Amino acid sequence: MRVRTGLVGLGFWFCLACCLSAAESKGTANKDRPFGPPPHATWEPLPDFTDEFDGDKLDPAKWHDHNPKWKGRQPGFFARQNVTVSDGKLHITMRAEDLPNLPDGYHTFTCGAVKSTRTVLYGYFETRCKPMTSRGSSAFWFYNNQPDRWTEIDVFEIGGGAPKHKRIVHMNVHVFRTPTEKKHWAKPSQHQVPFDLADSYHVYGLEWDKDRITFYFDGTAVRTLENTHWHQPLHLNFDSETMPKWFGLPEKKNLPSVFSIEYIRAWKRVGRQAVEPQSAPLTKGEQG
């Protein structure tokens, strides 16, 4: 299936967006009626990065139920049992618990991570999800840590139960290293909404092109920046993390807490530089 532009297509897109926005405001939006990619281009699906989570477990050809080279942001440990699929959703749970024989620095909390088995360069990526209500981070992001290049795009990081963060979509892009740059830098930004994000499902999108990067919230572009560095195939990730210095550690009384994802859907833009999804070796000591 392809999405094409034109006056008729633009009119359809406008009507669909209006209907879905109204449905979202009432909490009745249907996951089978997505916003989809923006209408200013022609798109083809990327099946390797699309999942409706309709079964009872993750598709191992598409997803790891953990991060193979990262144990989590201390003190929260990525535990595989915190990643489940049920009721047409992917669930990532954060718990207050101490597991036996954890590595040094990991204690008190467990959380979870889902990482794509393949990498992708450019496209439009959309998810409908509901963040956790705890101080733990609910995140949708892309990264790849290779010896000569390490870049990252954070579609969102949300502290659904963190004071002063409950209504903020945190977006960011990072450069950790390139062949000519060795010092980490980033370009953070925020989108504020008039409601608590963890109270309901919303649609978050990323249009990642060779020229620019655009972030979407419920079908509306909320941030655009020039793509100066993000030309590296990246892994797609969903995870929950403890963020002691940012959101603060979760309160045990608010756990367990669940980050739920209804779907992830992906398309590539026709006629633009891109690569098919591809396998990529993980580097020793890789981190997020």
- The pLDDT value given to residue 35: 87
Asked, for residue 284, whether it belongs to a domain, the answer is: no
Asked, for residue 140, whether it belongs to a domain, the answer is: yes
Sign of CA dihedral 133, 152, 48, 80: negative
**Are the C-beta atoms of 45 and 266 separated by less than 8 Å?**
yes
Confidence of residue 279 (pLDDT cuts 50, 70, 90): low
Q: Checking DSSP bridges between strand 89-96 and strand 83-86, what pairing results, if any?
A: antiparallel
- The pLDDT value given to residue 34: 60
- The pLDDT value given to residue 12: 35
d(CA 133, CA 166): 9
Asked, for residue 118, whether it belongs to a domain, the answer is: yes
Confidence of residue 28 (pLDDT cuts 50, 70, 90): very low
Which domain CATH number covers 160?
A: 2.60.120.200
Asked, for residue 266, whether it belongs to a domain, the answer is: yes
Is the pLDDT score of 277 beyond 90? no
Asked, for residue 168, whether it belongs to a domain, the answer is: yes
Q: Which neighbouring-strand residues pair with 226?
A: 212
Predicted confidence (pLDDT) per residue in 189-230, tens digit? 999 999 999 999 999 999 999 999 999 999 999 999 999 999
Predicted confidence (pLDDT) per residue in 96-135, tens digit? 999 999 999 999 999 999 999 999 999 999 999 999 999 9
**Are the C-beta atoms of 156 and 240 separated by less than 8 Å?**
no
d(CA 90, CA 262): 6
- Total structural domains in the chain? 1
- The pLDDT value given to residue 171: 98
Q: What is the pTM of this model?
A: 0.85
- The pLDDT value given to residue 276: 57
Is the pLDDT score of 32 beyond 90? no
What proportion of the chain, given as a percentage, has pLDDT over 70?
82
Asked, for residue 73, whether it belongs to a domain, the answer is: yes
Domain that residue 105 falls in: 7-279
